[in-house]
Structure formats: C-alpha cells, structure tokens
Amino acid sequence: MAVLRPSGEISSSILQSACASGAMAGITAGSSAASDGQEGGPGESAPVESDADTEPESAEGDKGIRVFDRLDDLEPESSPPPRVQPGIVQHAAIDAFSRMGKLTSIQMPWESPSVSAIFSDLSATLQPSLAACWPGNVQNVPAVQPQIENIKPAVDVNFVTAQGPVFAKVVKSRQGVTPQQKRQRDWLKAVNIWTDVCVRFRRECEPGLAAKDVPEQAAFREAVFANVEANAWRYVSQLKDMEAAPTKAEAFLSSARFAHFVLGFNLALVVDSKRVKGVAQQMFAGKEALKQALPLSVHQVLQLHQGLADVSRHLVDRAMCAYVLIALYGRARHSDLEQISSIKHDHDKYGGFLEILTRKHKGAKSAQKKSKFLPILVPAIGVHGKPWMHLLVDVFQRLSLPVDGAIDGPVLPAPRDSGGEEFSCRAIESGEVTAFLRQFLGLPAPVAGERGVSSHSLKATCLSWVNKYGVSDRTQTVLGRHCKCASTADAVYARDMCVGPTRELQRIIEAIAGGDFRPDEARSRYFRFPPRPPSPVAEVLENQRKDEESVQSAAAELEEGEASEPEEPFSLSPACGASEQDDSSSSSSDDGCSSSDEEDQPPPAKAQRLRGRAPVNADAQVWWVHRRSKMLHLVNGQKATPDEEQIFACGRSVSRMFRPAEDADVRGPVCNTCAKNA
DNA sequence: GAGCCATTTTATTGGCCACA
DNA sequence: TGTGGCCAATAAAATGGCTC
C-alpha cells in the first residue's frame, strides 16, 4: 500500500500506480522527482490542507493518506476508499483524473490515421474507456479550479486605433488572470496530460489490462514496444529527413528522459541510445545563429525619460515609460517584475535607489532560492543626469497604483480599457512591452531572422553599458543578478552586495549624461579624449549639494547642536514630485560613499562563465584542445583587436589549459556546444 | 479574409550536478 | 576546480480556431 505524506507525493503515487508494471518500472515512493514537480507549481505556496477529524493514522503509523495503491483502485468499488485527504497537489492530481474523459489531445500510436486504418475494424473495442470511474468520495473532493477573475472576457476594451495613447494600441484585451493563477493553470494542464499518458498507456498497452484485448492489438503492441529503441531512431531519422525544426528531436529526447526517470517508463534503451542522441545533436547543430535582442541606445532611453516627464501624454503611457525605465535601470527581466513582493524608496534628488524585492524570478528554482528575495536596485539618476523617481511616484499615485511598501503583484498591471482608469489583475505581458517599445520609439518591426528591440532589450541595455565601460567581472555578475552571487548569501547580504555595483552603474550613467562615455559610438570612441574629469554638470550639482549640506548642518547646529542626521528618504507625496521636477537640471550620486563601498568589496570573483554562442568567423576557425580532457573547442582565429580576449564558440575563454589542436588531436571528442555553434 | 486570442513550438539562458 | 551535459523557466514566434 502506498501511504503518502501530505507533502504532495500523491502525484507521483498516482503516476506510479499508473505506470508500475510490465513495460513501466515502478517509482519508489518518496524518491520520485515527480513529487518535486510541485516545485514551481501551485503547491509551492499553498498550504497543505489537513483534516485530522476524518483522517486517522494509517496502520503503518504514518499520518499519510491512502489514495490509490494501484490503478485497479480506480475502478468502481462497492465501498468507498477509507480516506481521502487532499492537499493542493492532491487536488490537482484528482482534478486531473476527473478531467480524463475530456482529454483528447493525446493521440496514441494506433490512433494515427495510417494505423487506425489497419485496425479500423477494432475501433469499437479500442475506444478508450476513460470515463471517470472514481471512488465516490474522490468525486466529492472539490477540485482546485483557478479562481479566474472575470470569466467573461474583459472585452470592455474599446481601444483607440488612430491617434491616441500608445498603450491603447499595444495592450490586448485578455482575461484578468494573475500570474499565480496562470502558473497554476499551466501546472494543472501538465498534470492532466501526463496523467492521461500514464493511464492510457497502462489501460491499452499492457497485456491483460486492456478492457478487451485482441490479438491484433497485442501484435501491434509487440511491434511498437518490443523494439522501442529502433522505433525511436526511425522517428528521429524521419524528423531529420523531413527537415523538422532543429530542436524537435532534442525535445523528443527530453520527453523520453522525463518519462523514463520521473514517470518510470522503461525507456533506458532510448535515452541511452547513441544513434538517437547523435541524430538529435546533428539536427540541433542546424539551429540558426544566436540573435539576441538589441540594447536600447542612449537616445532611445532619453526618449523614454521624455515620455515619462511629458505631462501632455496619457498617464498610462507615462506609467509604461516608468515601468520600462525601472526594468532598464534595474537590469530586470520582464518576468522579474511580474510578481514582486515590495517596493522601498531610498533616494532623494541627489541619487539613491529604488529597491524592489521579488521571490519569483528565473533563478528561483530550488526551494532554497525560492525562500530568498531577489533585490532589484534601480539607480535614481537617469542618463539625462536628473532624478526621475519622483515622476514615477507621481504617475503611479495618480493612477492609484501601489508604488511603495508591500505589493504582492506586478509592478504594472495591464490597463483594462483605453481610458486607463481601471487596471486588470493580470500583469502587463512581455509582448505588450515589446510592442510598446517599438511603437513609442517609432521602431519598425525587425526583419525576418532578426530580434530587434524587445522586452529583452531592457535587461541587456545597462549590462551592455557596464561591459563596454570595462567594470570588473564581479560587478557585471552582480549587476546581471546571476544567482551565483547570492548563492552563499542570505537576502540581506545579497541586498547589500548589490549596493556597490549599483553605485558603479550609477557613475557610468552619469558619465553618459556628462558625455564622457558614449556607449553607442564605435569602440575607439567610447570615451572622451582627453578625459574631462569631473563633468561640469556633476561638479555643479556636487557643489550645490555641498552648499545645501553645509546650510543644513549649520542650521542643525544652531537649533539642536546635534550631529547631522541622515537625509530623509524621498517624499512620496505628489507635491514633492511636481515641485522638484524642474528645479534640478542635473544630479550625481554620492561618490564619497561609493569609494568606501569599493574598499569594502570582497576581492573580485572569478570570471563568469559565458554561455550560449560566441561569434565564430567561418573563415578563421581554429580548433583548440583541452590539455587534460583532450576535448576539442572552436575559436575564432581572428581577433578584432590585439588585446581582445579569445572566446570559444561554447562561450569559454581560451586559457593556458588549452593549446592549438594538432593532427593527432582531431580524432578526440568535440565540445558539443562548439560543434553546434560552428 | 482579416483580426484577435489562445495555444503550441522554438529559442535563449542560467542553475545544477557528475566527473576527472 | 574546470568541464560537459542536462534541466527548467521564460520569451518570442508560429499556428490554430473563432468571429465578423
């Protein structure tokens, strides 16, 4: 009897029940990664329900829940199963079973047109008998349905199509589904599909278990499953001959691995097959070269600042400009801002940061990382040399959008109508941000094969600047918010760790504002020559600040005789933003503090390992070999500049661990990534 | 057939882990 | 510690279905 702890192992148990026997090896309860599948699913945050009143301990003494030991348990029983105590994961799995009869997306091999023609006379007996036949009390369990807001489509949108606010042209009319609800819906769907596969496999493919097994079906089963590796190889070979998408065979192998290692299908011959993997990799190597989103130019960022400050524009357009600037200066993915925890303001008209905390981000995969906040520090001074946070606060407050304290939702929800007075609970989507950027900046749609400017450009822009400016690898790594930076630090430490690099970014932004750094120019003209330190704008503002500080200090001494206190945080009142909008022509951050921060910084970390493709000149390819592993790597043999670091096509740097390959080396193993990128 | 929306497919990128 | 490989999350493009 499988006894399940209320930790969500029901999903694996059900799949185990569905899979265990014959062609499918059983899954060890409690060890299956399927139980980990709730990670990232709705079970991650929802508490497991308990019902101690109805759930006495099992005979084994485990306070678990007996759900289904075998699939046979799913057959109608004269007496209902003794106990059901579903938590959210259990609900999901039960709900998946309750929907089985509705699922038609999975086409079993014998249902394909060609094979079904052969077995057409068996259609009556091969009809999947998947009508739900669940124990009564299971049906009584309230299935977890996403509480989708406004099931009726929010089609109360009557967007202006001609001249009008940009957001009205790019924001789509969609159901108001929160990011959590969307995540839960996708998760349930995945559970449904895999459960469908498992149950139908067992019902119809295992000898003796099909409702009405017939000789023809058994023969077909034998033909298909007795030589599963050969069939898999024929399939991927066919994909290659058909010139299918380069990743399709790899995707097939990934599915086979999941089915084998997680669900317990006995597919070892497939996942270990050299020839299947070989064909998949040959196809994968045919992928087109990497085309990353273009970073925004300084001029385009200035346009966004202008849009935010332009009072003649629609408030929602200004809010979207502010959102884009937050993502840009915060080096945030669109998804990082989709479900934030809180916003904290720590800035004044001289600089500082907007601090956003989020727990839902791309790096949050392990349970440990999910428990940590990802701090996003946004510099308060823009490339126009002025503070801009007060405009953000002003616009958001006018729209009644939360901009301080706990948020627990998206930074910018999608407007519900063209009036921009109401907002849906759903977050603005990445596609809408991309469309807004292109519309607002007047950029044409990228030509086929190019990425152009997209929401990805927001994360890439500042990182491109710091890269061109030549800051340390550690600073780039922290600013890029790569998880390795926070892997050994708790949330508070990670937040403090970001301050120094973000100040460094602020100085780069000020250098751009002062004209000392021009990232959009050719490499040889990035920096002003001769250098002009410090910039007049920064100098004037610094003097202004010192003057004000001296006045405040003198006043404080006169009044209280106390030591000067820290500056007050930036006022969030609308009046503050409006009054200070125009009187500060430029600004700079506190360089004095940043220098001390630099001294406190730990020694630079080792260079970040680059991933993805590095450009390789087809006419100048040189193979190198790793001295120890004898693995061959490909490098572009022509440097753009003599001091340029050489990078392999796999993204690794050329080091003394490598040497140019000789004839004797060419039979050695080849780096798959280099081969793909060649 | 155009336009819109939802879904599916493909591409990108960072994390994690095994192994030498 | 360096290296290779796999997985997961996400973005964006492609596709399909529906309505007018």
Q: Is the CB of A362 under 7 A from strand B?
A: yes
> Which residue is the nearest neighbor of B6, CA to C1'?
A174
Greater model confidence, A652 or A111: A652
Which of A121-125, A324-328, A442-446, A491-495 is the least confident region?
A: A121-125
Subset of residues 452-491 in chain A with CB less than 7 angstroms from any atom in strand B: 480, 482-484, 487
Residues in contact with A498: Cβ distance below 8 Å, sequence separation at least 6, in sequence order: A375, A377, A478, A479, A481
pLDDT of residue A638: 45
Query: Which bases on strand B have an atom closer than 7 Å to a protein beta carbon?
Result: 4-6, 8-16, 20
Measured distance CA(A73)–CA(A512) in Å, rounded: 69
- Token output for A194: 């895999």
Residue that wins the pLDDT comparison between A137 and A483: A483
First to last CA, chain A: 54
Answer whether residue A191 shows pLDDT above 70. no
The per-residue pLDDT for A633 is 66
Q: Is the pLDDT of residue A179 over 60?
A: yes
Peptide bond between residue A519 and the one before it cis (omega within 30 degrees of 0)? no
Domains of chain A in start order, with CATH, are 3-226 (no CATH), 298-525 (1.10.443), 618-677 (no CATH)
Residue A328 binned pLDDT confidence (cut-offs 50, 70, 90)? confident
Confidence at residue A192, expressed as pLDDT on a 0 to 100 scale: 63
Helix axes A215-225, A228-241, angle to 10 degrees: 70
Buried b (16+ CB within 10 A) or exposed e, A347-385: bbbbbbbbbbbbbbbebbeeeeebebbbbbbbbbbbbbb
Q: Give the model confidence (pLDDT) of A544-583 as tens digits.
A: 555 455 444 444 443 443 333 333 333 333 333 333 333 3
Residues A593, A598: Cα–Cα separation, whole Å: 9
| Residue A435 binned pLDDT confidence (cut-offs 50, 70, 90) | confident
Nearest nt to A159, CA vs C1'? B4
pLDDT tier for residue A399 given thresholds of 50, 70 and 90: confident
- Residue A343 has a pLDDT of 85
pTM score above 0.75: no
Which bases on strand C have an atom closer than 7 Å to a protein beta carbon?
2-14
Least confident of A114-123, A468-477, A627-636: A114-123
3-class state of residue A180 by DSSP? helix
Residue at minimum CA to C1' distance from nucleotide C12: A431
Higher-scoring residue by pLDDT: A71, A120: A120
What is the percentage of chain A residues whose pLDDT exceeds 90? 0
Tokens representing A360 are 């839902």
Amino acid at A266: N
Determine contact, residues A558/A567, Cβ cutoff 8 Å. Answer: no
Percent of chain A predicted with pLDDT > 70 = 33
Cβ atoms of A10 and A26 within 8 Å: the answer is no
Three-state DSSP at A375 gives: strand
Task: Indicate the average pLDDT of chain A.
Answer: 57
- Structure-model confidence comparison of residues A634 and A370, the more confident one: A634
Closest among A256, A254, A130 to A196, alpha carbons compared: A130
Give whole-number Cα distances, A30 to A10, A27, A91, A658, in Å.
Answer: 10, 9, 18, 44
pLDDT band at A453 (very low <50, low <70, confident <90, very high): confident
Mutual angle of helices A491-513 and A456-469, in 10-degree steps: 70
Note whether A254 and A292 are within 8 A (CB): no
User: Do the beta carbons of residue A436 and residue A320 sit within 8 Å?
Assistant: yes
Predicted local distance difference test score (pLDDT) of residue A55: 34
pLDDT of residue A88: 42
Whole-number pLDDT of residue A165:
73
- Lowest-confidence segment of A78-87, A121-130, A549-558 by average pLDDT: A121-130
A609 neighbors A652 (Cβ within 8 angstroms)? yes
Q: Which of A544, A27, A548 is nearest to A264 (CA)?
A: A27
Task: Grade residue A671 by pLDDT with cuts at 50, 70 and 90.
Answer: low
Q: What is the mean pLDDT of residues A588-603?
A: 32
- Of residues A267 and A119, which shows the higher confidence score? A267
Which pLDDT value is given to residue A607?
32
Q: What is the pLDDT of residue A513?
A: 87
Q: Copy the structure tokens of residue A254.
A: 């990934």
Q: For residue A381, what is the DSSP state?
A: B
Least confident of A299-313, A455-469, A591-605, A628-642: A591-605
A10-14, A40-44, A158-162, A339-343 — which one is most confidently predicted on average?
Answer: A339-343
For residue A249, what are its two tokens? Answer: 């065979």
Is the pLDDT confidence value at A401 over 80? yes
Determine whether the distance from the CB of A212 to the nearest atom of strand B is below 7 Å: no
Nucleotide nearest to A186 (CA to C1'): B7
In whole angstroms, B9 C1' to A248 CA is 9
- Decide if pLDDT at A111 tops 50: no
Closest CA to A423 of A435, A434, A437, A407: A407
Q: Which of the pair, A490 or A405, is modelled with greater confidence?
A: A405
Element (H, E) at A539: helix A536-559
Strand pairing partners for A346? A353
pLDDT of residue A104: 38
C1' of C1 to CA of A635 (Å): 23
Q: Which element (helix H / strand E) includes A495?
A: helix A491-513
In this prediction, residue A379 has a pLDDT band, given cuts at 50, 70 and 90, of confident
Checking if the pLDDT of A501 tops 70, the result is yes
In angstroms, the CA of A90 and the C1' of C19 are apart by 38
Chain A residues 236-295 within 7 Å (CB) of strand B: 244-248, 251, 287-292
Higher pLDDT, A532 or A599: A532
User: Which residues of the protein have their beta carbon within 7 Å of strand C?
Assistant: A 33, 39-40, 183, 253-254, 257-258, 261, 277, 293, 333-335, 338, 360-362, 365, 430-431, 433-434, 446, 448, 451-452, 454-456, 606, 609, 626, 629, 631, 633, 650, 652, 655, 657-658, 669, 671-673
The per-residue pLDDT for A29 is 30
Q: For chain A, how are helix, strand and coil distributed in percent, rounded to 5?
A: 45, 10, 45
- Per the DSSP assignment, residues forming a β-bridge with A357 are A342, A375
pLDDT at A560: 40
Please give the protein residue whose CA is closest to the C1' of the nucleotide C3. A629
CB A92 within 8 A of CB A11: yes
Quote the CA–CA distance of A627 and A646 in Å, as a whole number. Answer: 17
DSSP letter for each residue of A231-280 = HHHHHHHHHHHTT--TTHHHHHHHHHHIIIIII-B--HHHHT-HHHHHHH
Residues 6+ apart with CB under 8 A from A374: A336, A357, A358, A359, A361, A363, A364, A481, A486, A494
Helix (H) or strand (E) holding A223: helix A215-225
The confidence band for A14, taking pLDDT boundaries of 50, 70 and 90, is: very low
Which residue(s) pair with A374 in the sheet? A358
Q: Which of A396, A379, A432, A386 is nearest to A172 (CA)?
A: A432
Contact A80, A172 (CB under 8 A): no
Look at residue A463 in the predicted model and tell me its pLDDT. 76
Give A229's pLDDT tier (boundaries 50, 70, 90): confident
